[in-house]
Structure 1
Amino acid sequence: MKTKFTFILACAALIAGCATEYQPHSSEGGYSEAAIETGVWRVKFAATPYTLQQQIQDFSLLRSAELTLQQGYSHFTLSAPDGKTIAQPGPDVVVRMFKQRPEEGVVQYDARSVCRQLGTHYDLTCRDRSQ
């Protein structure tokens, strides 16, 4: 029984070590972005097969928030590249940035809050325009 538990623990550590980190895109995956127009960017997050779906969503949301702050905005919304509304972030999103909170009824994010919450969870610090 002890050997089986040790084996499972070793496999879990190995798989966790293969997961994509929050980093600019490289051969191991990561985020990339491209400006579409002023205040609108496309953010992509490439991951290894060992990266959990929740982590992909979190890193996509975190990069969207960090980029929003770097561009001098405070809030953002997300949509799919085809313009459809999405319920949660995915590996390929369009980020619309706002200087202040957008109208009610739209799923919106406060960039500083996202950075604070996800940054704490993953032990990361968002870089904004002042850094």
Structure 2
Amino acid sequence: MKTRLAFILASAALLAGCATEYQPHNSEGGYSEAPIEPGVWRVKIASTPYTLQQQIQDFSLLRSAELTLQQGYSHFTLAAPDGKASAQPGPDVVVRMFKQRPKEGAVQYDARAVCSQLGTRYEVTCRDRPQ
């Protein structure tokens, strides 16, 4: 029984080591982005097969929030790359940024609040401006 438990714990540790981390894109996954027009960017999250869907969504939101702050905005909405409104963060989203909270429309996110909540969870400090 102890051998089985040790095997399970070792396997879990190994799989956790294979999960994608919050980082710029490299051979192990991560985020990338590209501008579409002023205040509109496309964010992609590349992951490994061991990355949980919730983590992909969290990284999508976290990178969108960090990028929003870096571009001098405070709020953002997400849409699917095909232009359809989407409230769900995912591996490929279009981020529309706003200087202040929009009065109506799609689901809106406060970039500082997202950075605070998810940054704490993943031990990431959002930067307002790129270094």
- Matching residue of 2:115: 115
- Matching residue of 1:49: 49
Unaligned runs of 5+ in 2: none
1:1-131 aligned at under 5 Å gives the runs: 1-129=1-129
Secondary structure of residue in 2 paired with 1:112: helix
TM (normalized to structure 1)? 0.96
Aligned pairs, number: 131
Q: After superposition, what is the alpha-carbon deviation per residue over 1:41-61, rounded to whole angstroms, capped at 9, x for unaligned?
A: 000000011111110110011
TM (normalized to structure 2)? 0.96
What's the RMSD between the two structures over aligned residues? 1.2
Code of the aligned partner of 2:122: Y
In 2: Cα distance, 1:90 partner to 1:103 partner: 24
Deviation at 1:130, TM superposition (A): 7.9
Deviation at 1:126, TM superposition (A): 0.7
| Structure 1 stretches of at least 4 aligned residues deviating more than 6 Å after TM superposition | none
